[in-house]
Amino acid sequence: MLISPSLIFIHYPKTGGSSVQAYLQKAVRGRFYPHDDASLDRKQKERLMHEGLQVAFQYAHRLGLDPFKVPAITCIRNPYDLMLSGYLFLKQKHGHKIADLEDSFLEYLKNLFARTPGQVMRGRASALYGPYTAYLTVGHQKPENLTVARTENLQQDVADFLRHQVGITPKIPMPHKNRTRHRHFSSYYGDEEERLVYEMWKNAFDNGLYARYQGLAQGGQ
């Protein structure tokens, strides 16, 4: 999360947000909160960094801003790619220490699906945009001032946001932070992997953020 009078950035994990945050802080001058909030300690700042839109807008209000009038941006990523990236990140970082990282991506998905409480799973499935909902909506609606950038076209989407919404043309390239390197995500997917990810992200697909099978060999883009 970044908040300033110039822009608001909402960071959904594993969507390239660390790169976007570093880029915005270099491209746009001024203070950014919560990073520059002297009233918060380190742990409080860390807790705010990945909060959703509702919390960010409430925090902006406390800073004296009208968040509905400040250009806002968040990033999303194809759920098939996102879920694989999360798995590989954990595997590379923690290896055998993570109990649910079995021998395959499929086993990871099965364990993740099985251990998520049914109430949580149903809530995610019924939310307007699945797990992305808290990062795209306030009061069940997407604010008109929110730009949605996609990891698949991240640098161009963020540059367009800065140019058209913030009014600046950045002269610096976007850094690449915390990148998880792997083959194209489609090579990790079979029918069962696809079904599990679809169930977790059903409304993100069904309500048009991404098409089901998008990017996969089964007829996606």
Average pLDDT over residues 199-212: 93
**pLDDT for the residue numbered 123:** 77
Q: What is the pLDDT of residue 203?
A: 92
Contacts of 197 (CB under 8 A, 6+ apart): 79, 80, 83, 109
pLDDT at 98 over 90: no
Q: Is the pLDDT of residue 195 over 70?
A: yes
Q: Return the domain boundaries, the chain.
A: 2-206
**Residue labelled with tokens 């076209």:** 153
SS3 content of the chain, % helix, strand, coil (to 5): 50, 10, 40
pLDDT digit string, tens, across residues 154-189: 999 999 999 999 999 988 888 776 666 678 899 999
- The reported pLDDT for the residue numbered 126 is 75
| Confidence tier at 96 by pLDDT (50, 70, 90) | low
Q: Lowest-confidence range among 14-18, 85-89, 171-175?
A: 171-175
pLDDT for 219: 41
For residues 197 and 217, what is the distance between their CA atoms, to the nearest angstrom?
Answer: 15
pLDDT higher for 181 or 54? Answer: 54
User: Per-residue pLDDT tens for 38-52?
Assistant: 999 999 999 999 999
Task: For residues 18-41, give the mean pLDDT.
Answer: 94
Instruction: Report pTM.
Output: 0.89
Give the per-residue pLDDT at 157: 96
Q: How would you label 34-66 residue by residue, b for 16+ Cβ within 10 Å and e otherwise?
A: bbebeebeeeeeeebeebbbebbbebbeeeebe
Is the Cα dihedral 195, 196, 199, 204 positive or negative?
A: negative
2-206: which CATH topology? Answer: Rossmann fold (3.40.50)
Residue 99, pLDDT > 60, answer no
Stretch 64-70: mean pLDDT = 98
| pLDDT band, very low/low/confident/very high, at 142 (cuts 50, 70, 90) | very high
